[in-house]
């Protein structure tokens, strides 16, 4: 992420403006790369994960990200029906 992009997103945070999901994830990737890696791992690999591994990773996410992951999983599963 460019420094200008980071400043723009941080400015929105400082002003308590709502971030898009993409902006939120960009900020996570920049400020909390290990957490971002956990999030992307569960989003990208949830289908192939053992239930215990999924639950262990899921519990490490904050509530906002848990909702995002469940929406992602449910949307994908709804597409199968």
Rounded Cα–Cα distance for residues 30 and 28 (Å): 5
79 and 58 assigned to the same domain = yes
pLDDT digits (tens, 9 = 90+) for 17-74: 998 888 988 999 999 999 999 999 999 999 899 999 999 999 999 998 999 999 988 8
Domain count along the chain: 2
Same domain, residue pair 13 and 38 = no
- Domain holding 15, by residue range, is 1-31
Q: For residues 43 and 81, state if they share a domain.
A: yes
Answer whether 57's CB lies under 8 Å from 45's CB: no
Alpha helix (H) residue ranges in 1-62: 3-14, 21-31, 33-45, 51-59
- Quick check: 78 pLDDT over 80? no
User: Based on the domain organization, do 10 and 37 belong to the same domain?
Assistant: no
Q: Do 48 and 72 belong to one domain?
A: yes
Tell me: do 23 and 45 sit in the same domain. Answer: no
């Amino acid at each position: 992420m460019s420094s200008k992009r980071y400043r723009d997103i941080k400015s929105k945070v400082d002003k308590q403006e709502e971030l898009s999901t993409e902006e939120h994830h960009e900020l996570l990737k920049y400020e909390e790369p290990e957490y971002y890696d956990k999030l992307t791992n569960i989003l990208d690999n949830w289908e192939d994960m053992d239930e215990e591994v999924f639950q262990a990773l899921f519990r490490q996410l904050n509530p906002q990200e848990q909702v995002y992951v469940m929406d992602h999983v449910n949307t994908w599963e709804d597409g199968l029906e």
